[in-house]
Structure 1
Amino acid sequence: MIGRNEDSKASWPKHFVVHPAQTFNDAQQFKSKDNDFTMPLPKTAMRYTATPEWTAKYGLFEEDGINEANVSMSATESAYSNALVLAADPLVADGIQEEAMVTVVLPYVTSAKEGVQRLGKLVETYGTAETNGILFADLHEAWYLETGAGHQWVAQRIPDDGYAVVANQLAIQQIDFADHDNFMFADGIEEFVQQHHLNPDANGFNFRHIFGTTGTSDEMYNTPRVWIGQKMFNPEIEQSPTDEELPFIRYASKRLSVNDVQAFLSNHYEGTDYDPVGREATHKHAFRPISLAKTQESHVLQLRPNVPSAMAGVQWLAMGVAAQSNYVPFYTAINNTPLAYQRGQGKYAANSAYWTFKLASVLLDAHYRHFETPYRQSQLKLQADLGTHLRESDVKALKLSGDALIQYLTDSNAESAKRALNTYTDLISDLITNSTDFSPLNFNTDENL
């Protein structure tokens, strides 16, 4: 399982789409509408799912998906490099950046490791315009890649029994250049660091120390989110939310389910003094929460080894604010996505999945204390219902194959979307109805007057 929140603007819709497999006779080329990054593409592309922006005017930003080889990719987690390394290898204005990464990598790779290799080669060849973290997984392993300067990158395999929590900062620590099963890296990165005297440590090669940033901005914006994730998965370990040396890899004290991952991505420091909507919060907005008003969508990409290949990939999508939305499970071996998930532009529209979830969250925010409990009860009931529907669909899908299976999975997705949207439409109706008496123009008087 890999997952991430895509944060940009409080009202900036995302769509959920599937691109069919294609083979072209002529040479293909990608050209970014954002920064003019240009590169050739293979003539054959696999089917893959994605969550692009509602408009391609500023670039595609397909962000996350699963391809027909059951490789998942999530790009990207924006991060920052320090001025010392950027002076030695500046970012490249027309290099590859996050808006293009899924589009030029995911349709062309058959394993997570191959995804790392393809993206790493593109960074070395064309340079990158940003510092980023990118997630890859397949049925056997997960990898995390970070770019550190214009042409520098490293990647680490996440242990099968481990997990990693990453915020908007470089996170990978010690690199073992002799361990090719667990580390990959840019050609010549050791020599680059030595030549420019970039390593602040006397021993070892700590990528975070060499390429990353530290300071009060990280301690308010980044490390607290890593801290709360590790607190959720390892509550027995005492740590500080402003600790700059929180480990990249941890080993959870229990087995983690997809619901645990969703709970983390929906977290806003519940149960601590730092919850901005907590009843007992004493440090409101001291730290940047994980679940944010500016979240466009949140996703968990799950690859299940215990079912046939076409059923293995499940893309759990929560449109809008994760804490105030629901993760809807979508099979990825499909021929279409639900229409409501293909709709939504810059202004509210009732037929858009994104805007339906956003409207519910806006109505909740207006009277949060009053509606928090019934809202959460609706979420939990829907979460269980969607999980039941997925299990029942798995059983029925096992009896199918070929085109009939693909169509069934597509139809099952439509039913999942219908259940989620019906629940939130009813929730919106209740919120509006029960908000009508909260007007500041109200006055306590005879109920007949």
Structure 2
Amino acid sequence: MEGKEFSACTSILVGRKASVDGSTMIARTEDAKTAWPKHFVVHPHQEFQTAPEFISPDNGFAMNLPTIRGKYTATPEWTDKFGIFEESGINEYGVAMSATESAYANDRVLGVDPLIEKGIGEEAMVTITLPYIKSARNGVKYLGKLIEKYGASETNGVLFADQTEVWYLEIATGHYWAAQRIPDNCYAVVGNQLAIQNINFNDPQNFLTATGLKKFVFENHLNNSRTDFNFREIFGTQDLSDSIYSTPRVWYGQRYFNPTIQQNPQSQQLPFVRQAERLIYREDLQFLLGSHYQGTDYDPLNSTNEKLKHKFRPISLAKTQEAHILQLRPEYSAELSGIHWLALGVTAQSIFVPFYAGITQTPKSYQLGSATYSSDSAYWQFKLLGILVDAHYSLFGDSLATMQKEVQTQLNHTIWQTDRQAQKMPTEKLVEFLTQASLKNAAYVLEKVAELSAELITTATALSPLDFKTDENL
């Protein structure tokens, strides 16, 4: 088995005044391999006498970590042979982080500040950052300082959120980065390109950058604009592959939230942030993360246009390992506020299962699974259902959609009930209550997945090409 392929994900960020209930939300698909299990774990709060050392199993990057490590949820790889790749989580301080949105920088900027071979990469980012940050803004500054000190091995985008702020940080070159706060009433969709546009260096409330970023660009003649400092234009790429692979996903997300605005799916000028024409539900993010250009000629499943149906890379695809929505709801304590919605496998064929941030354990099946199918792994149970549907999509697609709707409705009701009970619960009982509620949700979903898989296997026995209808007169 070769190592992990270059990750190619899709991210969505939503400010608190852009959502229906005042939640901040950051969400992303993790796309790399068609068969590469993800696990889901909770790391407990730990305090060490001496600073523990982190050493990357991927490229050898090493650093000393703080002696106090906060509790956090994470979705690591099934093996750390090629890196840890914890990817997403919510910590005990009520901060959510998702890393990373892989991107590309152009030859001009990399020629001046190359990527660092043994620098910080995607696989290490959550592990060395999330347990140690107390706010989204703090997360940007904390990781930014690490990048300036140790260097980055990749060009990446990183998502941070707390109950009040949502930030997107882009690491472009070995040591230079920029971050923008998503306006409270706005959203952003990002698809494997550097996305941040004009930076206002006089507005630190909404923009943060690497030390000396402006000077670096000026001294090396990297900005061809006389008036603006457009991070995307200066550091990013705008080539033909972007207009096939990246911008159509951004276009589809903006089309969904702003249907009255007409845009070209291959445009390189799509804005980074927009204000949606309505308030955003969490379910909107679930739809988009599982979308494949529904309602357009570019839909590989439903379009009759053979020329266009495979023209653009969709958001949901076979290489998705997991997708997550990290929701931080207003007013609640950190344990209850945060919900780590996790869909294992192909998002369009999976279910977002809610885990409260306060949990102290995850289901055993979410901690199992390796490169070969095994029935005791939650990842592989979701993948099995997807494979069964794939073989006969026209016949089984409706059954899958029906089950997904039924289960999502029940989960929404369960969360509503749990929230009401939790608000009346003594603090000392809250964590165990939220843990058990989350475990029960996961068990319910896997039960429904198993039921549908059994039904589809049984039905598929009659769909063999070797089936033969015997003449009743013989």
Question: Structures share a fold, TM > 0.5?
Answer: yes
Whether 1:277 and 2:301 are equivalent positions in the alignment is yes
Determine the C-alpha separation between the residues in 2 that align with 1:254 and 1:143: 21
Q: 2:249 aligns with which of 221, 225, 228?
A: 225
Instruction: Between 161-170 and 344-353, report the one with greater CA deviation.
Output: 344-353
Q: 1:321 aligns with which of 346, 350, 363?
A: 346
Contact 2:303 2:309 (8 Å CA) reproduced: no
Larger RCO, structure (CA 8 Å, separation 6 or more): 2
Please show how residues 153-168 of structure 1 align to structure 2 within 5 Å: 153-168=177-192
Q: 1:344 aligns with which of 355, 369, 373?
A: 369
> In the alignment, which residue of structure 2 is the partner of 1:433?
458
Secondary structure in 1 matching 2:411 = helix
Whether 1:248 and 2:282 are equivalent positions in the alignment is no
Determine the C-alpha separation between the residues in 1 that align with 2:120 and 2:472: 65
TM-score (norm. length: structure 2): 0.93
Whether 1:412 and 2:437 are equivalent positions in the alignment is yes
> In the alignment, which residue of structure 2 is the partner of 1:311?
336
Secondary structure in 2 matching 1:5 = strand
Please show how residues 202-217 of structure 1 align to structure 2 within 5 Å: 202-217=226-241
Secondary structure in 1 matching 2:158 = strand
Which amino acid letter does the alignment assign opposite residue 364 of structure 2?
L
Whether 1:69 and 2:93 are equivalent positions in the alignment is yes
Determine the C-alpha separation between the residues in 2 that align with 1:314 and 1:200: 44
Whether 1:196 and 2:216 are equivalent positions in the alignment is no
Determine the C-alpha separation between the residues in 1 that align with 2:51 and 2:270: 47
> In the alignment, which residue of structure 2 is the partner of 1:121?
145
Whether 1:181 and 2:202 are equivalent positions in the alignment is no
Instruction: Between 26-35 and 239-248, report the one with greater CA deviation.
Output: 26-35
Instruction: Between 365-374 and 307-316, report the one with greater CA deviation.
Output: 307-316
> In the alignment, which residue of structure 2 is the partner of 1:144?
168
Determine the C-alpha separation between the residues in 1 that align with 2:356 and 2:165: 20
TM-score (norm. length: structure 1): 0.98
CA displacement 1:224-262 (0-9 Å, x = unmatched)? 000000000000100010000000010001100110111
CA displacement 1:300-330 (0-9 Å, x = unmatched)? 0000113333200000000000000010111
Whether 1:301 and 2:326 are equivalent positions in the alignment is yes
Contact 2:98 2:126 (8 Å CA) reproduced: yes
- Give 1:186 deviation, angstroms: 0.4
Contact 1:30 1:40 (8 Å CA) reproduced: yes
CA displacement 1:174-217 (0-9 Å, x = unmatched)? 00000000000000011111111111223210000000001110
Determine the C-alpha separation between the residues in 1 that align with 2:66 and 2:374: 38
Contact 1:170 1:213 (8 Å CA) reproduced: yes
Relative to structure 1, the CA distance from residue 447 to residue 86 in structure 2 (aligned partners, 3 Å threshold; closer, same or farther) is farther
Which amino acid letter does the alignment assign opposite residue 262 of structure 2?
E
Whether 1:83 and 2:99 are equivalent positions in the alignment is no
Q: 2:407 aligns with which of 373, 382, 388?
A: 382
Which amino acid letter does the alignment assign opposite residue 352 of structure 1?
S
Which amino acid letter does the alignment assign opposite residue 377 of structure 1?
T
Whether 1:44 and 2:87 are equivalent positions in the alignment is no
Determine the C-alpha separation between the residues in 2 that align with 1:350 and 1:404: 34
Q: How many residues align?
A: 449
Whether 1:391 and 2:423 are equivalent positions in the alignment is no
> In the alignment, which residue of structure 2 is the partner of 1:366?
391
Which amino acid letter does the alignment assign opposite residue 86 of structure 1?
L
Secondary structure in 2 matching 1:437 = helix
- Give 1:281 deviation, angstroms: 3.7
- Give 1:280 deviation, angstroms: 2.4
Determine the C-alpha separation between the residues in 2 that align with 1:193 and 1:401: 55
Secondary structure in 1 matching 2:190 = coil
Secondary structure in 2 matching 1:436 = helix
Which amino acid letter does the alignment assign opposite residue 154 of structure 1?
A
Contact 1:300 1:316 (8 Å CA) reproduced: yes
* Fraction of identical pairs, as percent: 54
Contact 1:35 1:94 (8 Å CA) reproduced: yes
- Give 1:364 deviation, angstroms: 0.3
Which amino acid letter does the alignment assign opposite residue 331 of structure 1?
Y
CA displacement 1:379-418 (0-9 Å, x = unmatched)? 1111101111111111121222334211111100111001
CA displacement 1:138-187 (0-9 Å, x = unmatched)? 00110000011110000000011000000001000000000000000000
Please show how residues 2-81 of structure 1 align to structure 2 within 5 Å: 2-81=26-105
Which amino acid letter does the alignment assign opposite residue 102 of structure 1?
V
Determine the C-alpha separation between the residues in 2 that align with 1:212 and 1:200: 13
- Give 1:279 deviation, angstroms: 4.3
- Give 1:375 deviation, angstroms: 1.1
Structure 1, unmatched stretches of 5+, are none
CA displacement 1:327-372 (0-9 Å, x = unmatched)? 0111011110111111111111111110000000000000001111
Instruction: Between 4-13 and 402-411, report the one with greater CA deviation.
Output: 402-411
Aligned-residue CA RMSD (Å): 1.1
Determine the C-alpha separation between the residues in 1 that align with 2:46 and 2:370: 28
Structure 2, unmatched stretches of 5+, are 1-24
> In the alignment, which residue of structure 1 is the partner of 2:6?
none
Contact 1:165 1:248 (8 Å CA) reproduced: yes
- Give 1:447 deviation, angstroms: 6.2
Contact 1:272 1:281 (8 Å CA) reproduced: no
